[in-house]
Amino acid sequence: MDNKALQVIAAIFIPPLAVYMKNGKIDNAFWINIVLCFLGGFPGIIHALYVVLM
């Protein structure tokens, strides 16, 4: 999937889903994002936006 707007919206509300949508597989970035989401949510959102926009 290559729809940036949908990925940015997913990054704000469901960060691991956005990382999965960008990479198309469960990899290290996905697991890092899961851990960051458990550490308060906001770090997971920032990481997901970084993955989606870079």
Report yes or no: 11 and 45 within 8 Å, Cβ to Cβ: yes
Report yes or no: 37 and 16 within 8 Å, Cβ to Cβ: yes
pTM of the entire predicted model: 0.89
Residue 7: count other Cβ atoms within 10 Å of its Cβ: 20
By three-state DSSP, how is residue 2 classified? coil
Report yes or no: 20 and 48 within 8 Å, Cβ to Cβ: no
pLDDT given at position 39: 95
pLDDT exceeds cutoff 70 at 2? no
Domain boundaries defined on the chain: 4-53
pLDDT given at position 3: 87
CA gap 25, 39 in Å, rounded: 23
